[in-house]
Amino acid sequence: MKQEQEITPEIIRNHNLSDQEFRKIKKILGRLPNLTELGIFSVMWSEHCSYKSSKKWLQTLPTKAPWVICGPGENAGIVDAKDNDAIVFKMESHNHPSFIEPFQGAATGVGGILRDVFTMGARPVANMNVLKFGSPDHPKTRHLVSGVSAGIGSYGNCVGIPTVGGECEFHKSYNGNILVNAMTVGLAKKNKIFYSKAKGENNPVVYVGSKTGRDGIHGATMASAEFDDAAEKKRPTVQVGDPFVEKLLLEACLELMKTDAIVAIQDMGAAGFTSSSFEMASKGNCGIEINLDKVPLREKSMTPYEIMLSESQERMLMVIKSGHEKKAKRIFKKWELEFAVVGRLTNSGRMILRMNNQKAADLPIKPLVSSAPFYNRPWKKPSIQKKLTAKKPPPQKHMNKILLQLLGSTSICSKEWVWEQYDHMVMTDTLQSPGGDSAVVRIHGTNKGIAISTDSKPRYCIADPEEGGVQIVAETWRNLTAVGATPLAITDNLNFGNPEKKEIMGQFVCCIKGIKKACTKLKFPVVSGNVSFYNETNNLGILPTPVIGGIGILKDFRKHISYGFKESGDTIMILGTTKGHVGSSIYLKEIEKKEEGAPPKVDLDAEKQNGDFVRKLIEAGMITACHDVSDGGVAVTVAEMTLSKKIGATIALPKKKNIPSYAWLFGEDQSRYIITTKNPAPILKKAKNKRIPLYVLGKTGGDMLVFGDEIAISLRDVRESHEKWLPKYMKGKN
Amino acid sequence: MKCAVIVLPGSNCDRDIAVALRKVSGKKVSMIWHKETKIPKLDLIVIPGGFSYGDYLRSGAMAAHSPVIREVVSHSKKGALVLGICNGFQILTESGLLPGVLLRNASLKFICRNVHLRVESINNPFTKGYTKKQTVKIPIAHGDGNYFINKNGIKEIEDNEQIAFRYCNAKGEINTESNPNGSLMNIAGILNRNKNVLGMMPHPERVSDKFTGGSDGEILFQGIVEGLSK
């Protein structure tokens, strides 16, 4: 075995390995590792790759349903869309790199998640993203917003996959750790799905895509540690993306997938060559021998350590059937990509790396994977915010002002400045663009549609992690329902601080409990996901930010519905119960400058009942618009509905004043939808029969937004408040 | 009538155009790979949008030197219709088939949105399905769409009725507010002198289906196909 240099305690520490973990390594090998082997252990056992702190809890999530084809553990999750169509999707974070180098960090985040999806044989059809930035007045925020949005756009636009929606929010807890979570949805044929399980002794191991360089070495380890003030020095660990090569790689892989050459395929994502080769071999109980001299290199004299740990982008590792090398090579050469047979599968159960006729590493595969650390981290039940009761009388400000201020707030205002940089129309199947409750894309050449929604609510999750966990799943389910889709499954991206702290681990555990509860009740399983811990700088963690990406299906895409008012004279109704819940609301945060109070509780029975009811109305073509009631309550929801067609509304406030007006207007009670219809009578009758709370609010029409005698605003003011903040901010004018 | 779409490495609107063309013509649309050095006689060649060769040099600059584009140039000289959309337009200016250049958007940002266009000329095989001065809604999606040409050039293309489309507002008014990218005189699409080559930044193939945007772009393909079928 080649021993490059002595393994000192400092080297071990720099690889983020604990003393206990190092002892385990020595026990597995029966000797000291060399540097390459140590590097391999460190990335395979990093939090990012091994899920060592989260696995215990992730295992509790529901992952099965009759329509689930593939759950967690593969490159992405897969659900059945009938007629041999399968929807492949996953969300992944690229938080740490995006903070250090926003453009490339965000771009390669998109690249990585695209590969996760097309590795499985799917053509990506839509991208989404969830972005969390620090306070707008933090000196770095503007630069980060600008870099991240341009980076996401540049990658998706160039590959030619529409970016159809997402979220963008600001909060001071992200000052030192922004969040960039990217999601890709792809379409495959159910009988042509590709997995990463290697098999067949002597089958060739093939490297395709870009050459390997020195970029991104130890990216996975970086993403498993906190930042300090010197975070910028980690810039060399950020990868550089080449979306053009990604597009070629996508086309080449899909072309090869039409043949029967591929046995297993895995993208080289975090921890590059190391994790892709280990995962393929360990899933198939194989051994693998790699000749590192054959790996296409961008730079001269790279060491085995560097080759194995590089995170150069746009690369894939495949096992193909022996004898199919020529056919495969022809396709990759047509697309002008690297193609190299770098090794063979063996039955030894070991990974053996050779370079310059010397053994560079010799590791047992199963023990390395199966004895990966598994921590039952201690956790403390987080303190939970107490329930607030809406005050009477209402606060001093005039309701007009409050509504306009909410519409212009960083949470609610239009994010068009960001998503206008994303090509959301390429592939010409986009039915609902960014800004709606869910994005909707048609399954090309069919009458089916896929609805996609991404949701997070960190302010609820900090106030009560378990209720927050329930709420985000319910909100995703609701958003999919609001366009007429039947929700199928979710991917989750769990962004938290340092799990070695009991409080943070407690947030994580309780959020998972909430997610589990809602997923189980709504039959909305988790089929893929990602955990991002250590989102901390100088000991300060982010708000607990689990993010849900949900998928729903429309049997007939022509029935999908959008949230804008369609015509004057329609009747506006509210479905669901309004109690005036103001705790942890946007109203409280923006107007009273308080981030406190229990978040609204979701009654999952009511959620299901209301959602199923509204979906049936949409399918029957009985309503003209539908919008879920979310941030800012009824008033903001109705205001948003006036925007697209500039149609106003007149709403009567409830006669019985058991709820203060401001709480009725801006409270965030759950499981509610605002709907419009030309013919309210049959809907009201149906609701009455099913004992579903449904009330007439008023009518659409005019150029004003009126709520009883509390609010009267011109549509021009509504629109201006909603649109002006972000562009002005990005110009540096506020 | 024979139509083809050029596929360059990095093209990504090739399928969208083929779908739109097939829909109006009912005929097969052939896809031509960028390495082709001989292409058969064709009535219409479309160069699609995308990021040919990654567009890491000036947009369209690399593609303009690819084997297939040389063939496109020679076919256009023989009278075949050539339509370049978005990156296709950039390639046409880079290859010299169309005058002027496409600079970085004035905002320096990539912009994807619906815009209004005023049809400035219908005296050509591409836009005759429209009425003169008609306002249509067709989306743009580009980072380099800021059309520029020198003084003599602008006079020439004006005199020769080579301006096909200009950005305007919903009322058809052409002004600075309705100019999304800083293009000279709000120019969105131009023809060559012989009127058999059209380059445009907006994407008509994205408004060729009532479910996904409308039919303002379909009119363009219909006009072309009807003319060729005669």
Cβ-count burial A373-397 (b if 16+ within 10 Å, e if not): bebebebeebeebeebebeeebeee
CB contact under 8 A, A158 and B109: no
Residues of B in contact with A245 (CB under 8 A): 54
Contact flag A557-B110 (C-beta cutoff 8 Å)? no
Q: What confidence tier does A34 reach under pLDDT thresholds 50, 70, 90?
A: very high
**pLDDT bracket for residue A544 (50, 70, 90):** very high
In chain A, pLDDT over 70 holds for what percent of residues?
Answer: 96
Q: Give the residue with greater pLDDT, A433 vs B208.
A: B208
Q: What is the pLDDT of residues A587-616, one digit of tens each?
A: 999 999 999 999 999 999 999 999 999 999
Task: Tell me: pLDDT of A479 over 90.
Answer: yes
Hey, are the CB atoms on B16 and A427 less than 8 Å from each other? yes
Strands A571-575 and A673-677: antiparallel
Please name the residues between 110 and 129 in chain B that touch chain A, using a CB distance below 8 Å: 110-113
First vs last C-alpha separation in chain B: 9
Residue A219 — very low, low, confident or very high, per pLDDT cuts 50/70/90?
low
pTM: 0.96
Q: Does A246 touch chain B (CB under 8 A)?
A: no
Nearest of A441, A543, A461 to residue A496 by alpha carbon: A543
Tokens 């792809």 label which residue?
A186
Is residue A581 annotated as part of the catalytic site, yes or no?
no
Indicate the average pLDDT of chain B. Answer: 96
Count of Cβ atoms closer than 10 Å to residue B229 Cβ: 10
Residues near A348 by beta carbon (within 8 Å), at least 6 away in sequence:
A287
Order the strands of the B29-33 sheet from edge to edge: B29-33, B3-7, B44-47, B81-85, B197-200, B187-191, B163-168, B111-119, B135-142
Tens of pLDDT, residue by residue over A620-640, are 999 999 999 999 999 999 999
pLDDT digits (tens, 9 = 90+) for B47-98: 999 999 999 999 999 999 999 999 999 999 999 999 999 999 999 999 999 9
Q: Which of B19, B110, B212 sits opposite A153 (nearest CB)?
A: B110
pLDDT of B32 > 60? The answer is: yes
Q: Where are the domains of chain B?
A: 3-229
**How far, in Å, CA of A258 to CA of A248, rounded?**
16
Task: Specify the CATH class of B3-229 in words.
Answer: alpha beta
Range of lowest pLDDT (A149-158, A216-225, A568-577, B62-71): A216-225
Catalytic residue among B71, B94, B205, B218: B205
Residue A350 has pLDDT above 80, yes or no: yes
pLDDT over threshold 80, residue A657: no
pLDDT of residue A224 exceeding 80: no
Which tokens belong to A598? 């229990």
Which is catalytic among the residues B3, B13, B86, B168?
B86
Binned at pLDDT 50, 70 and 90, residue A237 comes out as low
Question: Is residue A395 helix, strand or coil?
Answer: coil
Residue A233: predicted pLDDT: 62
pLDDT digits (tens, 9 = 90+) for A132-174: 999 999 999 999 999 999 999 999 999 999 999 989 999 999 9
pLDDT at A212 over 90: yes
Which residue blocks in A578-714 are alpha helix, DSSP H? 586-590, 604-619, 633-643, 661-666, 680-689
Nearest to A422 among B13, B51, B112 (CB): B112
User: Across residues A698-721, what is the average pLDDT?
Assistant: 97
- Residue pair A156/B8 in contact by the 8 Å Cβ criterion: no
Amino acid A425: pLDDT: 97
The pLDDT assigned to B177 comes to: 97
CB contact under 8 A, B213 and A425: yes
The pLDDT value recorded for residue A240 is: 86
Mean pLDDT of the region A249-262: 97
3-class DSSP assignment, residue A358:
strand
Strand partners, A169: A132
**Which chain A residues in 543-562 lie under 8 Å from chain B, judged by CB atoms?**
557-558
Give the pLDDT band (50/70/90) at residue A129. very high
The predicted structure's pLDDT at residue B70: 94
- Tell me, yes or no, if A592 comes closer than 8 A to chain B by beta carbon: no
Three-state DSSP at A506 gives helix
DSSP helix/strand/coil, B161: coil
**pLDDT confidence of A236, banded at 50, 70, 90?**
low
Q: Which of A153, A160, A558 sits opposite B50 (nearest CB)?
A: A160
Helix axes A19-29, A35-44, angle to 10 degrees: 120
Q: What is the pLDDT of residue B112?
A: 97
pLDDT at A222: 58
Q: Check B205 against A426: CB less than 8 A apart.
A: no
Say how many C-beta atoms besides its own lie within 10 A of residue A229's C-beta.
9
Can you tell me the distance from the alpha carbon of B99 to that of B84, in angstroms, rounded to the nearest whole number?
Answer: 13
Total Cβ atoms within 10 A of residue B227: 17
Active site residue B13: no
Question: For A288-331, what is each residue's pLDDT tens digit?
Answer: 999 999 999 998 889 999 999 998 999 999 999 999 999 999 99
Q: What is the mean pLDDT of residues B111-136?
A: 97
User: Confidence class of residue A271 from pLDDT cuts 50, 70 and 90?
Assistant: confident
CA of A561: which chain B residue's CA is closest?
A: B211
Output the six-digit token pair for B224.
Answer: 């072309």
Is the per-residue pLDDT at B229 higher than 90?
Answer: no
Q: Which of A36-50, A149-163, A332-346, A577-591 has the lowest mean pLDDT?
A: A36-50
In chain A the first and final C-alpha atoms are separated, in Å, by 62
Task: Give per-residue pLDDT as tens, A72-106.
Answer: 999 999 999 999 999 999 999 999 999 999 999 99
Q: Tell me how far apart the alpha carbons of residues B124 and B113 are, in angstroms, rounded to a whole number.
A: 27
